[in-house]
Amino acid sequence: MEWCLKQPKIELHAHLNGSARDSTLLELARGLGERGVVDFATIESVIRKNDRSLVECFKLFDLIRVLTTDHAAVTRITREVIEDFASENVVYLELRTTPKKNEAIGMSKRSYIQAVLDGLRSVDAVDVDFIPSDVNKANSKKTLSINDNGVTKTKIFVRLLLSIDRQETGEAAMETVKLALEMKDLGVVGVDLSGNPAAGEWDTFLPALNFAKEHELPIVLHCGELPDRLEEVQEMLNFYPQRIGHAIFLDDEQWRLLKLSKIPVEICLTSNVHTGCVTTIDDHHFIDLYNSKHPLLLCTDDPGVFSTSLSREHYLASSAFGLGREEMFEMGKTAIDYIFADERVKKELREIFSSFAAKEF
């Protein structure tokens, strides 16, 4: 596990609120409990529960939504999530979150994302690069910087994906896509379709996704999380997104198409096993894709909800599929080709990985 922690890593599939610390969620719940908004004891038992089916998992997400839909909470969670990823040597993070609206507290989709950006700005423990056109960063060759105390700080690149929730309307989805386009200069690099896979229809989101495509905004789709959605999987493959998440329930012909398409797949081992979508890690489609040299991205999905970390996911893949340190490092490095940030970032990441390899192998 130690070497998995040490290696530089790239995380491309992590949901902000699914990455929140349990301790923070409990603290928020306690605060709301004292004000009589929620029943703390019930929430505590749900948060502390470890194994969750897909259905239970989405019940928890509904609960998390109640706890975290508040500007200050969003800012805090963003800061903590970035610190947590940086502390395990994640050097590039593409963090996704669903912009939320809550008129009662003056929250719009835009102010929600502003709160996320405030969180990015408020990180102090590490140096966060999130504005693509930041001239100072662009001129800096360093991957380490010195803070006020003379201590070296590590750097993490963070970019954002705005998620469309499958429970939303087509109009709300369009609003998210337009917001993502407007916020490109602030580090938003694409859109995601996620949320309860049993909810919503593909056709509802198609206009918004087509609009994103016309404007060359990268798109990631949660695909094949349920066995009875083969038609939708087909539409998703035909749509040809930049990356897909999970790809669990595909029929043989779709599986063949996926491999032919070379659409990179974001693999979330612990998430898939915890939700019961895959029986055991040994049965996971990771190894089939790996052996076929299909572009693969090892990700956490929801490290808070599934009590995992990217280092742990690397360790699990290595032990379950017999992959050594260098093989895992090489696989992790190929993720650079599939990130949505620009060439400057890719170049810096290549340098980080090369200098690590020169020292370690």
Residues found near ligand 6MZ in the complex (CB under 6 A): 15-18, 57, 61, 97-98, 163, 165, 194-195, 222, 225, 271, 275, 301-302
- Nearer residue to Zn ion within complex by CB, 29 or 248: 248
| Separation of alpha carbons 69 and 62, rounded Å | 11
CB under 5 A: which stretch of 38-46, 72-80, 300-308, 311-319 binds Zn ion?
300-308
Contact, 77 vs 17, CB < 8 A? Answer: yes
301 interacts with Zn ion by CB under 5 A: yes
- Cα-based distances in Å from 143 to 129, 147, 336, 348: 10, 13, 16, 8
Tokens of 231: 């038609």
| Separation of alpha carbons 239 and 225, rounded Å | 17
Between CA 206 and CA 217, with CA 211 as vertex, the angle to 5 degrees is 110
Q: How many residues does the chain have?
A: 361
Residue closest to 275 by CA, chosen among 198, 202, 205: 198
11 interacts with Zn ion by CB under 5 A: no
CB of 345 to ligand 6MZ, least distance (A): 22
- Nearer residue to ligand 6MZ within complex by CB, 130 or 329: 130
CB of 19 to ligand 6MZ, least distance (A): 8
| Separation of alpha carbons 330 and 352, rounded Å | 13
Give the contacts of 155 (CB within 8 A, at least 6 positions apart). Answer: 91, 126, 127, 128, 129, 142, 143, 144, 145
| Separation of alpha carbons 218 and 242, rounded Å | 6
CB under 5 A: which stretch of 42-50, 100-108, 293-301, 333-341 binds Zn ion?
293-301
Give the contacts of 88 (CB within 8 A, at least 6 positions apart). Answer: 5, 9, 309, 310, 311
Specify whether 326 is catalytic.
no
18 binds, among Zn ion, ligand 6MZ, none (CB under 5 to 8 A by kind): ligand 6MZ
CB of 194 to Zn ion, least distance (A): 5
99 binds, among ligand 6MZ, Zn ion, none (CB under 5 to 8 A by kind): none
Give the contacts of 120 (CB within 8 A, at least 6 positions apart). Answer: 78, 79, 82, 128, 130, 158, 187
Size of the site for Zn ion (CB under 5 A): 1
- Nearer residue to Zn ion within complex by CB, 98 or 114: 98
CB of 91 to ligand 6MZ, least distance (A): 22
CB of 57 to ligand 6MZ, least distance (A): 5
- Nearer residue to ligand 6MZ within complex by CB, 168 or 348: 168
- Nearer residue to ligand 6MZ within complex by CB, 9 or 166: 166
CB under 5 A: which stretch of 50-58, 120-128, 156-164, 295-303 binds Zn ion?
295-303
Of 11, 80, 168, 225, the catalytic one is 225
Residues forming contacts to Zn ion in the complex (CB under 5 A) are: 301
List residues with catalytic annotation: 225
